[in-house]
Amino acid sequence: MTVRPIRLYGDPVLRTPADPVTDFDASVREIVRDLEDTVREPGRAGVAGPQIGVSLRVFSYNVAGQVGHLVNPVLSDFDGEQEDEEGCLSLPGLGYSTKRAMSVTARGFDLNGEPLVIKGTGFLARALQHETDHLDGRLYIDTLTGDVRRQALRELRRGRPAMTEVRRQAGPAGDRGAPSGAAR
């Protein structure tokens, strides 16, 4: 079991669009297993490749006790709207009301390259959208507007020294898909 450290706001890997997975080899299967182990930690609903320093289009989720993953996700069939507080492991301690679609369909592949379709509503739809945003180099705070966005950015600036220290302990950003045992 490998629980990988989470990259924090300010780490460039979080703002860089992730590369598509082209080979479903042993290293990709290891990354998927690491993502699933990492998302099983209490209080976690999703973890994307960039959040563990792997710039590949893959994420795991843990919603209502169901742990899964999706490689090279594409979202469609957005329907309805929900607004609820959203947080992010890469922005610890922050949470803001965020609008998302109420339901969405995510199409991609499993760790063996077999097609996979996940239809999500409610919290699962929110998690699928949040994690796919990570793969595109976006964070949920990017969707905030007005005073709420200004408040979030102020909070991030205030917390930056503590996040910088945690980031320093996690190591450098941007390994491009190296398995958990590889040097970062």
Q: List the binding residues.
A: 88, 130, 134
Conformation bin of residue 146: beta by default, left when phi > 0, alpha when psi is -120 to 50: left
Please identify which residue in the block is written with the tokens 């803001």: 96
User: Residues 36, 81, 131, 155: which is the catalytic one?
Assistant: 131
Which alpha helices (H) appear in the chain, and where do they start and end? 26-39, 123-135, 146-170
Contacts of 107 (CB under 8 A, 6+ apart): 73, 74, 75, 76, 115, 116, 117
Contacts of 164 (CB under 8 A, 6+ apart): 10
Which amino acid makes up residue 166? V
Contacts of 53 (CB under 8 A, 6+ apart): 4, 5, 7, 11, 13, 170, 171, 173, 174, 175, 184
- Does the annotation mark 83 as catalytic? no
Annotation: binding site for Fe cation? 88, 130, 134
Name the residues annotated as catalytic: 131
